[in-house]
């Protein structure tokens, strides 16, 4: 550690002492960078934290599995939780000043049920950015995201926040949330980190068996085939997406032929306008967000590539 300062990583389980820490940072005129996570940290998270550490003298990371972004039929209960591993990883990179581990009842003082109709308390929605793409498959997901992010922003009051491109619609939702609600902070979107075969890093990859893991790069390969077609100046939806549908169909057949004990099923492929998030028949000057979700057994993986656009 010669030449570098060893950070004193403080752990906060309650809001009040975290706010005291924040006040101290402000008094010391340190910019605060914030990376909200649901834990089960991988290199993707760590790269965002390193990015925060480059820009900000004080870095806060939250670990909170947010119930409000899970539907009743989704995996809230089995979502991977690995707190001691996470803390070891955070400590090892020496980039973190504060880890915030709030309790559900502190974040949701009115309580939280997964049944949206029965929910009480304050909720935040980003209309116009939440119903397409992932929102079609998960209609209340981004309401849960926008709500928890608003709470966390108000608790941590950071100057800079960092989210991964892997969850690209989440980035769009938060970009609009920050603008519309006038949060005095700057959003940074970090690149998707990938395994050697191209599979986007994700906490949910832990659900995959070794056999599933072997075929999981198919989503990335399919998106890449579309990107390749785009680079060959193909612009119409049908011809752009055709190679992706083909690759996934072939892989599905291959899995059946091998008598593996799982199957894969495409949830959706989306070719959307980067601003409106509406599906495109033809990619124009603004480029497109190419994204998709795929079930491997019961595990749903998600990925995206940008075609000539930024988020």
For the bound state, the minimum distance from the C-beta of residue 186 to a copy of itself, rounded and expressed in Å, comes to 14
# of chain residues touching a copy of itself (CB under 8 A): 29
Q: Catalytic: 182?
A: no
Q: Which of 171, 177, 218, 255 binds a copy of itself (CB under 8 A)?
A: 177
Angstrom distance (rounded) from CA 100 to CA 61: 6
Give CA angle at 257 (253, 259), nearest 5°.
120
For the bound state, the minimum distance from the C-beta of residue 147 to a copy of itself, rounded and expressed in Å, comes to 8
Q: Which of 1, 6, 28, 182 binds a copy of itself (CB under 8 A)?
A: 182
Q: Which residue has the tokens 């834990």?
A: 39
**For residue 293, what are its two tokens?**
């979700």
CA neighbor of 93 nearest in space, from 130, 123, 54? 54
Q: Which is nearer to a copy of itself, 155 or 218 (CB)?
A: 155
Angstrom distance (rounded) from CA 193 to CA 190: 9
Q: Is 174 helix (H, G, I), strand (E, B) or coil?
A: helix
**For residue 4, what are its two tokens?**
């570098």
Cβ atoms within 10 Å of 272's Cβ, excluding its own? 22
Instruction: Candidates 52-60, 149-157, 196-204, 218-226: pick the segment binding a copy of itself (CB under 8 A).
Output: 149-157
* 72 belongs to the binding site for a copy of itself (CB under 8 A): no
- Annotated catalytic residue within 16, 45, 182, 188: 45
* 27 belongs to the binding site for a copy of itself (CB under 8 A): no
For the bound state, the minimum distance from the C-beta of residue 287 to a copy of itself, rounded and expressed in Å, comes to 21
Q: Which residue has the tokens 């998960």?
A: 138
Half-sphere exposure (Cβ direction) of 36: Cα atoms closer than 13 Å: 27
For the bound state, the minimum distance from the C-beta of residue 156 to a copy of itself, rounded and expressed in Å, comes to 10
* 104 belongs to the binding site for a copy of itself (CB under 8 A): no
Please give the positions annotated as active site: 45
Site residues (vs a copy of itself, CB under 8 A)? 15, 19, 108-110, 119-128, 146, 150-151, 154-155, 157, 176-177, 179-184
């Amino acid at each position: 550690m010669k030449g570098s300062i060893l950070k004193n990583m403080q752990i906060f389980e309650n809001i009040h002492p975290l706010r005291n820490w924040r006040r101290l940072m402000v008094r010391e005129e340190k910019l605060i960078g914030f990376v909200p996570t649901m834990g089960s940290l991988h290199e993707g998270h760590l790269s965002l934290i390193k990015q925060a550490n480059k820009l900000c003298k004080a870095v806060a990371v939250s670990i909170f599995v947010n119930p409000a972004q899970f539907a009743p039929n989704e995996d809230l209960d089995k979502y991977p939780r690995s707190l001691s591993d996470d803390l070891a990883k955070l400590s090892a990179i020496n980039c973190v000043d504060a880890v915030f581990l709030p309790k559900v009842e502190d974040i949701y003082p009115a309580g939280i049920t997964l049944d949206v109709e029965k929910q009480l308390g304050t909720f935040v929605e980003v209309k116009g950015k939440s119903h397409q793409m992932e929102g079609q498959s998960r209609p209340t997901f981004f309401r849960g995201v926008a709500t928890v992010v608003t709470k966390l922003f108000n608790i941590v009051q950071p100057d800079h926040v960092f989210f991964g491109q892997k969850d690209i619609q989440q980035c769009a939702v938060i970009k609009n949330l920050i603008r519309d609600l006038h949060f005095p902070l700057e959003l940074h979107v970090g690149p998707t980190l990938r395994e050697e075969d191209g599979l986007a890093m994700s906490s949910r990859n832990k659900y995959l068996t070794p056999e599933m893991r072997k075929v999981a790069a198919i989503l990335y390969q399919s998106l890449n085939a579309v990107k390749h077609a785009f680079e060959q100046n193909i612009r119409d939806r049908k011809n752009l997406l055709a190679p992706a549908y083909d690759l996934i169909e072939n892989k599905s057949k291959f899995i059946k032929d091998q008598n593996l004990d799982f199957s894969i099923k495409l949830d959706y492929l989306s070719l959307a306008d980067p601003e409106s998030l509406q599906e495109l028949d033809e990619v124009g000057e603004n480029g497109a967000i190419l994204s998709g979700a795929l079930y491997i057994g019961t595990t749903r993986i998600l990925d995206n590539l940008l075609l000539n656009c930024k988020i």
